């Protein structure tokens, strides 16, 4: 978790805002394409699950940013412990949702798990893009 935070510390706040905005737009685009493809393949529950998983990823990232902002405002004594416990709660809820959907429909649950994973690949790709862009800008200045 500390190394992930160190990655974000290398980026200015405006770039983090752009990164999150790009991730949201990318996730929506990937969700639309995934849903269309799965409907064409007659697996609409998988497509719906992928869209739900992408939505869970978006909600999780928004909760992370809100949690970090709240910890910064509150000036808690052990911020890492507070953030770690909130992360554990969010992960638990996400897991319960995915497992619940898995029991409702295997295709829907697998699609949701795949959608969550797909969201984090999109986030990672956007993060790498931002880091490469910021290092290229830093080299030319």
Q: What is the pLDDT of residues 14-36, one digit of tens each?
A: 777 788 889 999 999 999 999 99
pLDDT exceeds cutoff 60 at 55: yes
Share of the chain above pLDDT 70, in %: 87
User: What is the pLDDT confidence band of residue 87, given thresholds at 50, 70 and 90?
Assistant: confident
- Report whether 114 contacts 49 (CB < 8 A): yes
Flag whether the pTM goes above 0.75. Answer: yes
Provide the 10 A C-beta neighbour count for residue 63.
15
Comparison of pLDDT for 128 and 10, the residue scoring more = 128
Q: What is the mean pLDDT of the chain?
A: 86
Predicted local confidence at residue 10, as pLDDT? 66
Q: What is the DSSP string of 95-114?
A: HHHHHHHHHH-HHHHHHHHH
Comparison of pLDDT for 89 and 69, the residue scoring more = 89
Predicted local confidence at residue 38, as pLDDT? 96
* CA 58 – CA 119 distance, rounded (Å): 8
Share of the chain above pLDDT 90, in %: 52
- Report whether 124 contacts 60 (CB < 8 A): no
Comparison of pLDDT for 51 and 1, the residue scoring more = 51
- Report whether 133 contacts 68 (CB < 8 A): no
**How far is the first Cα of the chain from the last one, in angstroms, to the nearest whole number?**
30
Tokens encoding 105: 């429909």
């Amino acid at each position: 978790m500390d190394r992930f935070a160190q990655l974000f510390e290398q980026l200015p706040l405006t770039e983090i805002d752009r990164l999150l905005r790009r991730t949201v737009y990318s996730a929506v685009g990937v969700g639309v394409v995934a849903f269309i493809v799965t409907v064409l393949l007659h697996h609409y529950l998988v497509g719906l699950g992928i869209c739900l998983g992408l939505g869970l990823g978006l909600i999780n990232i928004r909760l992370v940013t809100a949690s970090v902002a709240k910890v910064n405002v509150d000036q808690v004594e052990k911020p890492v412990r507070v953030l770690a416990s909130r992360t554990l709660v969010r992960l638990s809820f996400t897991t319960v949702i995915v497992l619940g959907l898995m029991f409702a429909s295997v295709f829907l649950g697998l699609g949701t798990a795949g959608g969550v994973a797909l969201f984090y690949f999109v986030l990672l790709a956007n993060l790498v893009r931002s880091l490469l862009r910021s290092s290229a800008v830093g080299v030319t200045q």
